[in-house]
Every structure is written in structure tokens, then in C-alpha cells.
Structure 1
Amino acid sequence: MQVVCLQEEAFYALFKKVIEHVESKRPNTPERWIDGEEAMSILKIKSTTTLQKLRDEGKIRFSQPQKKIILYDRESIMEYIEKHARETF
């Protein structure tokens, strides 16, 4: 095993470059499938019943990969919000 010694300035410069590299490789697009908490946050609602109603009426898309896991399609939520937007006068 080899030990590499660096001066403090060199260590922090290297550390900064590693962080920049990792940040540049990270995707900037948000996840398509989100949990109920994030869906309620985007819709600005506090009730899980309201979220379930939107889901049951087919107003927003969802996926249920497991019995107790329900994921919501971010794009359909944004489309729902846009559909109900009112134009200014």
C-alpha cells in the first residue's frame, strides 16, 4: 500500500475538482415518477384523500408497482395544473 501526502491547498483543489466532476455527471432532469408526498407538494394540497380522488378520477397518472407503493407521473401532474390555469385579462 502506498501513502500519498498532499499539501492542504492541493488536497482542497483536488477535492473541489472531484465534486465538480460528480456534479457535471449528475442528471439535471427531475425524476419522472414521484411519491405521494412530492405530488401533494407540487399540487399544493395537504390531503391524501384529494390526491386519491385525482387518481381515481383519472386526472393524474399513477403506477402501483407494489401493494402499498403508489408513484405519480410528474408530467401528468404538470399537465393537470396547466389544464386548469386561467389566462389573464
Structure 2
Amino acid sequence: MKIICLQEDAFYELFEKVISRLELKRDEEARKWVSDEQAMDMLGVTSKTTLQRLRDNGEIEFTQPMKKVIQYNKESILAYLEKHKRKTY
């Protein structure tokens, strides 16, 4: 068995780093879904009609937790962009 001794200041500094890292991970999970404005910005489009067309065609994932609230899956938007990338010559 190994025992690690830390001074009190070092212990609390380590503890704060662990908490910060956990909060960052939680924030990343919370950002899985983005608003229509954020989705439009990511896609570089200016029309909500374009977003609706992408939804209707099943090209990007979305959720509708309430009647007028639609959120878009950030990963599906990135996958859509990756699918339509073009290599330069």
C-alpha cells in the first residue's frame, strides 16, 4: 500500500482542479444541443427555412422539448458539414 502525503494547500489546489475539470465536462455535455441561432451560425445559413428543410430531410438531428422550442444536435451538424466537405486541388 502506498501513502501519499500532501500539504493542506496542495490538497485544496488539487481538489479545485478536479472540480473544475468535472464542471467543464458537464458543460460540454450540456452543449450537446444548440439553439436554432447557434445551428444557423454553425452551418453558415441565414434562414430558418433551411434548418427546417435539413430537419425534414433527416440530415440533422433535433429535439423538440416544447411546442415552439427546437434544439439541434451539435454532433449531427458537424457530421453534416464533414459529409459535405470538398477537398481542394
TM-score, reference length from structure 1: 0.69
Compare CA radii of gyration and give the structure with the larger one: 1
Question: What code does the residue aligned with 2:24 have?
Answer: P
Number of the residue aligned with 1:70:
70
* In 1, Cα distance between equivalents of 2:78 and 2:61: 11
RMSD in angstroms over aligned alpha carbons?
1.8
Number of the residue aligned with 2:82:
82
Percent identity among equivalent residues?
A: 45
TM-score, reference length from structure 2: 0.69
- Higher mean C-alpha displacement, 54-63 vs 21-30: 21-30
**Which stretches of structure 1, 4 residues or longer, exceed 6 Å deviation after superposition?**
none
For structure 1, list consecutive stretches of 5 or more residues without a partner in the other structure.
Answer: 1-16
Number of the residue aligned with 1:5:
none
Question: What code does the residue aligned with 2:83 have?
Answer: K
Counting helix residues as a fraction of each chain, which structure ranks higher?
A: 2
Matches within 5 A, 1:5-20: none
